[in-house]
Amino acid sequence: MKKPAILVVDDDPQVLAAITRDLRQEFRSDYRILPVASGPEALTTLNELRTRSEPLALVLADQRMPEVEGVEVLAHALSLFPDTKRALLTAYADTTAAIRAINSAQLDYYLLKPWDPPEQLLYPVLRDLLASWQATYRPTFAGVRLIGFQWSPLSHELKDFFSGYLVGYQWLDIEKDAEAATLLATTKFTVDDLPVVVCPDGQVVSRPNKADLGRHLGLLVAAQHELYDVVIIGAGPAGLAAAVYGASEGLKTLLIERQTPGGQAGASSRIENYLGFPTGLSGSELAHRAWSQATRLGAEFMAPQEVVNLHVQDGYKVLTLRDQSIIRTKAVVLTTGVSYRTLDAPGLERLSGAGVYYGAARTEARSCSNHPVYIIGGGNSAGQAAMFLSSYASRVFIVIRGEHLAASMSAYLITQIEQTPNIEILPRTQLREACGANSLEAVVVQRDGQEPEKRPARALFIFIGAKPSTEWICELAICDPKGYLLTGRDLVTDPRYAAAWKLSREPYLLETCVPGLFAAGDGRAGAMARVASAVGEGSMAIKFVHQYLAE
How confident is the model at residue 220, as a pLDDT? 67
Provide the sign of the torsion angle of the four alpha carbons 488, 493, 498, 504, taken in this order. positive
Alpha-carbon distance of 328 to 318, in angstroms, equals 5
38-76 tens-digit pLDDT: 999 999 999 999 888 789 999 999 888 888 888 889 889
Q: What is the pLDDT of residue 284?
A: 81
Spatial distance between the Cα atoms of 233 and 306, rounded to a whole number of angstroms:
9
Count other C-beta atoms under 10 Å from residue 452's C-beta.
12
For the cut 90, the answer to whether the pLDDT of residue 165 exceeds it is no
What is the number of other CB atoms lying within 10 angstroms of the CB of residue 402?
A: 12
What is the dotted CATH code of the domain comprising 227-339+467-549?
3.50.50.60
Maximum separation of any 2 CA atoms in the chain, in Å: 101
pLDDT of residue 420: 95
| Per-residue pLDDT tens over the stretch 190-217 | 999 999 999 888 889 999 888 888 888 7
Place 549 in a pLDDT band, splitting at 50, 70 and 90.
very high
* pLDDT beyond 80 at 405: yes
**pLDDT value of position 473:** 93
pLDDT per position as a tens digit, 75-116: 899 888 888 998 888 876 566 666 666 666 677 888 887 888
H helices present in 227-299, as ranges:
237-248, 263-266, 283-296
Check for a shared fold between 227-339+467-549 and 356-464: yes
Structure confidence at residue 163 (pLDDT): 84
**For 215-229, what is each residue's pLDDT tens digit?**
887 776 678 898 999
Which pLDDT score is estimated for 17? 93
Q: What is the mean pLDDT of the chain?
A: 89
What's the CATH code, domain 5-136? 3.40.50.2300
Please check the confidence at residue 500 and state whether its pLDDT lies above 90: no
Which CATH architecture is the domain 356-464 placed in? 3-Layer(bba) Sandwich (3.50)
Report the distance separating Cα 509 and Cα 214, nearest Å.
Answer: 36
- 211 closest CA partner among 200, 225, 221: 221
pLDDT at 547 (0 to 100):
96
pLDDT of residue 103: 61
131: buried, middle or exposed (CB in 10 Å: 19+, 13-18, 0-12)?
Answer: exposed
Higher pLDDT, 417 or 283: 417
| Share above pLDDT 70 across residues of the chain, in percent, rounded to a whole number | 97
Express as a percent the part of the chain with pLDDT over 90.
Answer: 54
- Is the pLDDT score of 294 beyond 90? yes
What average pLDDT does range 366-376 have in this prediction?
92
Residues 6+ away with beta carbon under 8 Å from 35:
8, 9, 10, 16, 17, 19, 20
296-340 pLDDT tens trace: 999 999 988 899 999 999 989 999 998 899 999 999 999 998 888
CATH tag, 144-216: 3.40.30.10
pLDDT higher at 356 or 270: 356
- 222 close to 302: Cβ distance less than 8 angstroms: yes
**pLDDT value of residue 101:** 61
28-32, 485-489, 500-504, 535-539, range with the lowest pLDDT: 500-504
Rounded CA gap, 292 and 425, in Å? Answer: 39
Q: How many CA atoms lie within 13 A of 36 on its CB side?
A: 22
d(CA 212, CA 446) in angstroms, rounded, equals 45
Q: What CA–CA distance (Å, rounded) separates 389 from 269?
A: 9
Give domain limits for the chain: 5-136, 144-216, 227-339+467-549, 356-464
- pLDDT tens digits for range 224-259: 898 999 999 999 999 999 999 999 999 999 999 988
User: Minimal CA–CA distance to 385: which of 398, 394, 372?
Assistant: 398
The pTM for the full model equals: 0.73
Task: Give whichever of 75-79, 114-118, 288-292, 416-420 has the largest mean pLDDT.
Answer: 416-420
Are 326 and 318 within 8 A, CB to CB?
Answer: yes
Secondary element (H or E) of residue 321: strand 316-321
